[in-house]
Amino acid sequence: MRAVTAEFPASAAPAPSATAAPPGPARAPKHGRVASAVPTDTRLAHSLEGDFHSSHVTVRGLRLHYVAGGEGRPLILLPGWPQTWWEFRKVMPALAAAGYRVIAVDLPGMGGSDKPAGGYDKKTMAGVIRSLIRALGYRRADIAGHDVGSQVAFSFAVNHPEATRRVALLETLHPDPSLYRIPILPARGLPFFPWWLAFGQVPGLPEQVLAGRARHLIDWIFDAFLVDQTALTLLDRSVFAHAYNTPDAIRGGNGWYQAFGQDIVDLGTYGKVTAPVLGMVSGLGDGVLAERMRATLPTQAADAQVVQVEDAGHFFVEEAPQAVVDEFVRFFG
């Protein structure tokens, strides 16, 4: 990757909270300097090795942003919160070189894509991605998602089997009734406390609290759930903070969480995914997430396999990119 850098003195940088201790194994670093001018998606795409370009397409009345490169069978990459297509920057060149047409998409509500008033349930979002694939000239694709992107990828596979060749679900399963059992206070022995799931449910308040201050939240999340803090540069953090720094962007991201109730209802109507499924999961929370994925995924897919990514946290696409590339090439063929 060709470096894209722009920084200013630490005195102007927002500092992470000194009162909240990260729940994960990482320790909060001294961030020091942050990017002053975040590059455009066009510049970021051109910074990747290979011929990658930033583009937009309008489907179902929504203008969606994506970055694509390489030639071959289409591989759709769907990012998670609080990130954008840039989450996949370390794996996109290698996947393109391996013979895929790599298409990393900003979901509705994310980054350079529109942020509508509604439609954030994963079934609707999966339909939007299906329309995008058709608009790009494909009838069938491989699809992989991380975090919220994984939830959309699952919904895509179960609702559009004719369009799904294979699907990879990274770290996160589709919303299910177990979400209703997460305690409102951190229980003793809980490996981590996902407070942001509840915070994102509050209408209007997150926009007021976070607009113009998203860097505080971005730093807290990454400090808490990265094992290797060097996996994200100051530029990377600034790219993601910039993407979630406006009221509309905060509202759009929260929309994915506010739709969990509908997602849970929809899950109750689904059968099993018929396409082959790869689950990739970290050992976060002393392996609790990995255990849950191993137990749950076979009940949701007819052909499922689960791989645990060692020595990496929730953001293992950045911490262990070679492991992701190797598993994708093996699984997608």
The CATH number covering residue 117 comes to 3.40.50.1820
Residue 32 lies in a domain: no
Sign of the alpha-carbon dihedral angle for 322, 175, 212, 27 = negative
157 φ/ψ sector (left φ>0, alpha ψ -120 to 50, else beta): alpha
Report the C-alpha gap between 77 and 67 in whole angstroms.
10
Question: Which own/partner contact pairs does 98-101 have at CB distance under 8 Å and 24+ positions apart?
Answer: 98/325, 98/329, 99/70, 99/71, 99/72, 99/73, 100/70, 100/72, 100/73, 100/74, 100/75, 100/142, 100/332, 101/68, 101/69, 101/70, 101/71, 101/72, 101/73, 101/74, 101/75
Residue 130 lies in a domain: yes
pLDDT computed for residue 286 by the predictor? 81
pLDDT computed for residue 203 by the predictor? 93
Report the C-alpha gap between 111 and 243 in whole angstroms.
5
Residue 255 lies in a domain: no
Rounded to the nearest 5 degrees, what angle is found at the Cα of 193, between the Cα atoms of 192 and 195?
A: 150
pLDDT computed for residue 226 by the predictor? 96
Sign of the alpha-carbon dihedral angle for 83, 89, 95, 99 = positive
Question: For 235-274, what is each residue's pLDDT tens digit?
Answer: 999 999 999 999 999 999 999 999 999 999 999 999 999 9
Residue 190 lies in a domain: no
Q: Is the distance from CB of 305 to CB of 279 less than 8 angstroms?
A: yes
pLDDT computed for residue 6 by the predictor? 34
Residue 277 lies in a domain: yes
Residue 26 lies in a domain: no
Output the six-digit token pair for 220.
């807290």
Domain count across the chain: 1
> pTM above 0.85?
yes
Q: With a cut of 50, which residues of the chain have pLDDT below it?
A: 1-30, 32-35
Q: Could you tell me the residue range of the domain that residue 121 belongs to? A: 40-178+261-332
pLDDT computed for residue 36 by the predictor? 57
Question: For 62-87, what is each residue's pLDDT tens digit?
Answer: 999 999 999 999 999 999 999 999 99
Report the C-alpha gap between 272 and 158 in whole angstroms.
7
Residue 204 lies in a domain: no
Residue 93 lies in a domain: yes
